[in-house]
Amino acid sequence: MKLKARAKINLTLDVLHKRSDNYHEIEMIMQLVDLYDSLEIREGEGIEIVCSHPFVPTDEGNLVYKAAKSLQKYTGTKKGAKITIEKRIPVAAGLGGGSSDCATTLMGLNKFWKLNLSLEELAKLGKELGADVPFFIKGGTQLAKGIGEDLTLLPSLPPVWVVLAKPNLGVSTKEVYLGLEIDKITKRPNTQAMISAITEGNIKEVSNNLCNVLETVTLRRYSTVKILKDRITQLGACGTLMSGSGPTVFGLCSTYERALKIAKSLGTLAEEVFVTKTTDWSEINETN
Ligand SMILES: C[C@](O)(CO)[C@H](O)COP(=O)(O)OP(=O)(O)OC[C@H]1O[C@@H](n2ccc(N)nc2=O)[C@H](O)[C@@H]1O
Ligand SMILES: Nc1ncnc2c1ncn2[C@@H]1O[C@H](COP(=O)(O)OP(=O)(O)OP(=O)(O)O)[C@@H](O)[C@H]1O
């Protein structure tokens, strides 16, 4: 079984307060994009992970391994699997790559092992493995509250071109949340305005309402991210924002030509650049 595990961007991200469990109560709008890791599930003894990316573990630290183990524990199945991950989504980049691999594995093995769990059950198991995981069970465009698990599906955004640019640094999500001074945030997203813009399919208004409070931490710590963001704006993107905890910055573009021009003009500012599109693909996508 071959599967696509797509990345996400955050169109808005607001942090409301710190919780007693050390997580933060957030309100954000997440959007699936068409950049993906490829997963292949084959029959196997136990759980075996194959991945050649230097920063991705193949032991119990891998979120794909954790997903498989969690399903075995929950259902009691003794079945095994060999899962090969071909990484394309940059790692520790704010694009939710590991979370998407995790969610896709939950959905894939549910079929492969004929477990018949509901999407709600899969999302519940996913939440224990990472706050972003439940989003990837349904994908599309969603409002996320709580720690990210309380989801409301929004109308799909009309497909819009996206330039994703990751500078040569990795960012720890935990460190970014730890560095946030909530009482000093001056600019917060207008989530309702963003929902209206999405509902109307008004990309100009979507672009005007892009806002992520975690930029206050990452852009201050890493000037490259700020320079990259300003450059993408100068080059003519309709709107730009840092995704998640960063350091990836995205630019929304009205044409493919503009997106490509921006991608080709970033030079050494970005280590990895992709031109992709927003997508509302919401089902498990088997390519085989
Ligand atoms: C930044 C985002 O990617 C935006 O989509 C998410 O909020 C982070 O989601 P994630 O990487 O799946 O998060 P997890 O792997 O569950 O948590 C990583 C760390 O981020 C912090 N964390 C995460 C989510 C949240 N609502 N509050 C937090 O404080 C916690 O310190 C946690 O230890
Ligand atoms: N399948 C996986 N793919 C990528 N990273 C993984 C995977 N499994 C475990 N990891 C570990 O998780 C860490 C974070 O990876 P990931 O790429 O998901 O971060 P991220 O893009 O910042 O995610 P988010 O946007 O959810 O914060 C990596 O440093 C890596 O060691």
Nearest CA to ligand 2 atom 23: 96
Catalytic residue among 8, 66, 87, 229: 8
Distance between CA atoms of residues 90 and 49, nearest Å? 18
Q: Is the CB of 245 under 6 A from ligand 1?
A: yes
Pocket test for ligand 1, best of 177, 213, 215, 242 (most atoms within 8 A of CB): 177
Residues in CB range of 147: below 8 A, 6 or more apart: 19, 23, 24, 25, 26, 127, 131
Q: Is the CB of 77 under 6 A from ligand 2?
A: no
Element (H, E) at 31: strand 24-42
CA of 54 to the centre of ligand 2 (A): 12
Do the Cβ atoms of 86 and 3 come closer than 8 Å? Answer: no
Which pTM value belongs to this model?
A: 0.96
- CB 147 less than 6 A from any atom of ligand 1: yes
Please list, in sequence order, all residues whose beta carbon lies within 8 angstroms of the beta carbon of residue 184, skipping any fewer than 6 positions away. Answer: 216
Q: Which residues pair with 239 in a beta bridge?
A: 252
Ordered structural domains, the chain, with CATH = 2-153 (3.30.230.10), 161-277 (3.30.70.890)
Please tell me the distance between residue 25's alpha carbon and the centre of ligand 2 in angstroms: 21
Sign for the CA dihedral angle at 136, 141, 142, 147 comes to positive
Q: Is 251 helix (H, G, I), strand (E, B) or coil?
A: strand
Number of H helices, E strands in the chain: 10, 11
- ipTM for the assembly: 0.96
Do 259 and 253 meet the contact criterion of CB atoms below 8 Å apart? yes
Please give the chain's pLDDT, 288 residues, in tens.
Answer: 999 999 999 999 999 999 999 999 999 999 999 999 999 999 999 999 999 999 999 999 999 999 999 999 999 999 999 999 999 999 999 999 999 999 999 999 999 999 999 999 999 999 999 999 999 999 999 999 999 999 999 999 999 999 999 999 989 999 999 999 999 999 999 999 999 999 999 999 999 999 999 999 999 999 999 999 999 999 999 999 999 999 999 999 999 999 999 999 999 999 999 999 999 875 454 453
Asked about 150 being catalytic, the answer comes back as: no
Q: How far does residue 96's CA lie from ligand 1's centre (Å)?
A: 10
- CA–CA separation, 30 vs 243, rounded Å? 9
Q: CA-CA distance, 266 to 235, in Å (whole number)?
A: 9
For 252-281, give the secondary structure using H, E and C: EECCHHHHHHHHHHCHHHCCEEEEEEECCC
Closest-lying ligand 2 atom to the alpha carbon of residue 243: 25
Report whether residue 134 contacts ligand 2, using a CB cutoff of 6 Å: no
- Separation of 174 CA from ligand 1 center, angstroms? 6
In this predicted structure, what is the pLDDT of residue 282?
A: 55
Indicate the annotated binding residues for ATP. Answer: 90-100
The whole-angstrom separation of Cα 266 and Cα 255 is 17
Sign of CA dihedral 160, 234, 194, 145: positive
Ligand 2 atom with the shortest distance to the CA of 64: 1
Per the annotation, the verdict on 101 as an active-site residue is no
Strand order in the sheet with 272-277: 239-242, 249-253, 161-166, 272-277
Beta strands in 170-286, from DSSP E residues, in sequence order: 211-212, 239-242, 249-253, 272-277
Cα of 201 to ligand 2 centre, how many Å?
A: 31
